[in-house]
């Protein structure tokens, strides 16, 4: 059985942002930054970020965002973004072109 990982991403156009309620909850859990936007720069796989999004569901999302959790089987990921709408990519999900084939 493979390990599953969770990654936060924004599922709509607009951009990844946290609500004030989500930031306050992160502070309660011991995450301390000086500015609101610094919370949005946390690693998207940070366990406390994932916890807050799962706890607050829709209330975790800031303006013009729809925060979601992707479950992936790889510890490697990248977030692709277009106009603020994001998707989580893993090595298995990327079609590579092999010059030697």
Distances (CA, A) of 72 to 17, 29, 34, 64, 92: 22, 25, 31, 25, 10
Q: Does this model's pTM top 0.85? A: yes
Is the Cβ–Cβ distance between 39 and 83 less than 8 Å? no
Rounded to whole angstroms, the Cα distance separating 14 from 31 reads 25
pLDDT tens readout for residues 56-92: 999 999 999 999 999 999 999 999 999 999 999 998 8
pLDDT tens readout for residues 8-62: 999 999 999 999 999 999 999 999 999 999 999 999 999 999 999 999 999 999 9
Rounded to whole angstroms, the Cα distance separating 100 from 50 reads 41
Is the Cβ–Cβ distance between 36 and 19 less than 8 Å? no
């Amino acid at each position: 059985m493979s390990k599953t990982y969770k990654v936060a991403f924004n599922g709509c156009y607009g951009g990844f942002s946290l609500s004030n309620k989500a930031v306050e909850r992160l502070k309660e859990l011991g995450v301390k930054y000086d500015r609101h936007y610094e919370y949005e720069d946390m690693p998207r796989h940070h366990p406390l970020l994932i916890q807050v999004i799962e706890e607050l569901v829709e209330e975790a999302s800031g303006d013009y965002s729809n925060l979601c959790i992707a479950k992936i089987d790889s510890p490697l990921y990248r977030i692709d973004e277009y106009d603020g709408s994001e998707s989580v990519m893993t090595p298995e999900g990327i079609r590579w072109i092999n010059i030697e084939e």
